[in-house]
Structure 1
Amino acid sequence: MKEKAYIRSLQKTGKSTFIVSLPREWVLSSGLEKGEKVLLELLDDGSIRIKPYTIKEKPQLTERTVALEVKQEETWGIERLLIAYYEAGYNTIVIRQKPYLSEELRNEVRRVLLRLSGLEIVEESSDQLILQVIIDESQIPIKRTLERMENIVRSMVLDLKKGIARKNTKILESIIERDNELDKFYFFLGRQAVVAIKGRRSALNMGLEETVLVLPYKTYGKCLEEMGDTLVSVTRYILSRSDKLDINRLLEIFNYLEKSFEWAVKAFKEDSEEAVKAVSNLYTSFFLSFEQQIYEPDAMILSASRFLSLCIDVLEAHVEKQALVRS
């Protein structure tokens, strides 16, 4: 059949629905009648393919499988491998160990799975484990993943202040445990980023108008993850020196962290120039207030400086996002 091209005007009905007419010749040749359904496929190049819909029509999911042969002495490396393949977008991971799976390997795999959303053991035998991702990451907005990470970091900062003020070690210890949850969402974000880059349709489902926007969102997520790591380091330092700390000084430092964090989040999410200036001012104010201690081996000041630098990195991600939106 000779290819033909048609030009149609886009019409709008209601507040948010757009419609376009189909060529009569195509409708008749496809045997379609009024009320019948057609299938619209959003292609990776941004175009749309239209064809008659049948009940058998289902979106085809790309199955990516990798097999790992683990030697008895290599159990220690399974964590990084699982995280790497998970973030790379693999749907099925097969783990084999001869002559049989050691109990150490089984336990290590189960421990790692606690940090990887949606990856589950679906089949198990004496020498093999089959892991499969049972959630569709493309159906979860990437902003929702980031919001969860923001909430975890926010709770860590607030509980640092609360734990110090109340001298409550239980509160402080809970901050360290929370870092695993933060890592879990960061790994999931990495997987979402890979899936978005590989398919425009998936990117749209995740709320990205342009696939390239995944880059500043991934950068932002990395900043949040590193903020969590920094807060864990601060917490461990406090727990190890709880009887030698200046509470008022610590609370002053944490106030800087809290305010900088909230303004940085506002800058990235709302494109607020006021927030950008606020973060910059707090950053400068902190270094002026603690200028003497910065050049001394003070773990608290160094960690706080790292956290504030990450807030500045968030501003850079904000600028990158703005540039991509406007281009």
Structure 2
Amino acid sequence: MRGEVRKVQLTGGATLIVSLPKEWAKRIALAPGDEVIVVTQPDDTLVLIPKKLGKRTGVIAELTINQPVDIAELERLFMTLYIGGAETIVVRFSPKAMGLRKQMKEFIRRRIVDMEIVEEASDRLIVQSMVSATELAVMDIAVKMLRLVGNMLSDLMIGLDKDDVSLLKDVIERDDEVDRLYWLMERQLKRAAMSRYVMLELKIDDPRDLVEYMIIAKSIERMADHICRIAYVNQEEKVDMRVLGPILSKALEFLRHAEILLTSEAPAHRIAELQGEIMSWSQKVRREETLSDPATSIAKESAVRIGEYVGDIVESLGRIRLKDKAIIIGEEAGPSS
């Protein structure tokens, strides 16, 4: 990485100052009186963030379709721009591709959380973010995802116990909402990676945490997938709740404890304890030899994975909360007499 070497000057007898690069200041129109945010990094370097950069117009992206394509391919391309952090996406349709406009419009309304269609014509859709990037903190999204999945798991157990087909179908449909929040989390983390100002506004103090939040979101999304997998398997062949029930109950218990840790300043030992409990439970359940039918065996594997994903969430939370801190286990011994 190239940089400029500048000398630190002393002014007023006690204040240290350093001049800013002229070309950089000119490029962003920095003027006397403008405010900057100075952030100390984990390695004791400093990052300087002009506040005006946080108010810049967001990225505008375009997607032009000149020929008929599979709608799934078009959806994937749109999601690439969305997750990449575009604030406005203009989708243009040539006369040959206008038939895709209605399908694309339905996809956007059904699957995108924080954007709306603000302009529509026969040959284009203009989709714009309705929420500021800084209004959706990543921890809030993670908690919302975890609560949603917790309710899915609870209703899955009720549906399996009572053989309630409509409830199990409803559980499967809720997976779409988990996906919407997961994509939003990806989008927010990409925005944070592109701007230190946005990162701070999203209440992420350390760049290392971006990876951990991604692990948390992906773990929750995978939990939802396994819940749906169990519901689908049960449609083909009824699973044995004598085998599955205790595993799902324990996984739900772990999930509720993890939710408490996410929403509170839990002591270090509690995070470590829960992680240890989940690891011990997982090893014990996997060692148990249970005779069961194929459907129950498949469902059991998914149930165990749900609990293990909670462990991944707790592990990442520990890395966010406990880094660079002194960890003390037990009470400090008093002076010997």
TM-score (norm 2): 0.75
Tell me by how many angstroms 1:292 deviates: 6.0
- Report what 1:284 is aligned to: 283
Q: How far apart in 2 are the matches of 1:43 and 1:185?
A: 31
The counterpart of 1:41, out of the listed 36, 40, 53, is 36
2-structure distance, mates of 1:114, 1:237: 26
Q: How does 1:95-110 map to 2 (within 5 A)?
A: 95-99=91-95, 101-110=97-106
Report if the CA contact (8 A) 1:212-1:324 is conserved: no
Structure-to-structure mapping, 1:304-315, within 5 angstroms = 304-315=303-314
**SS state of the match for residue 36, structure 2?**
strand
Of 230, 251, 255 in structure 2, the residue corresponding to residue 257 of structure 1 is 251
Q: Residues 105 and 61 from structure 1, CA distance in 2 versus in 1: closer, same or farther, beyond 3 angstroms? A: closer
2:250 maps to 1:239? no
The 3-state SS of whatever aligns with 2:308 is helix
Counterpart CA distance in 1 for 2:161 and 2:291 is: 25
> Do the aligned partners of 1:266 and 1:275 also contact (CA within 8 Å) in 2?
no
User: Displacement, 1:150?
Assistant: 0.7
Task: Write the deviation string for residues 124-167 of structure 1: whole angstroms up to 9, x where unpaired.
Answer: 12221121112112222111111100111100111111112222
**Shift in Å, 1:112:** 3.7
Q: Which runs of 5+ in 2 are unaligned?
A: 1-7, 16-32, 40-45, 327-337
* One-letter code aligned to 2:141: T
Aligned CA distance change for structure 1 residues 296 and 250 (closer, same or farther; 3 Å): closer
Gaps of 5+ in 1: 11-37, 52-56
Normalising by structure 1, what TM-score? 0.77
**Which residue does 1:138 correspond to in 2?**
134
How much is the aligned-residue C-alpha RMSD, in angstroms? 3.3
CA deviations over 1:229-279 (Å, ceiling 9, x no partner): 1111111111232xx432332312311321233344456663422211221
Letter in 1 for 2:158: K
Which digits, 9 at most, give the CA deviation of each residue in 1:109-134, with x for residues without a partner?
32243221122112212221121112
Q: Which residue of 1 aligns with 2:55?
A: 59
Aligned match of 2:149 in 147, 153, 156?
153
The AA in structure 1 aligned to 2:227 is L
- CA–CA distance in structure 2, aligned partners of residues 195 and 280 of structure 1: 34
8 Å CA contact 1:124–1:130 kept in 2: the answer is yes
Task: Say which is worse superposed, 85-94 or 133-142, in terms of deviation.
Answer: 133-142
**After the TM superposition, which of the residue ranges 148-157 and 212-221 deviates more from structure 2?**
212-221
Please name the residue that 2:27 is paired with: none
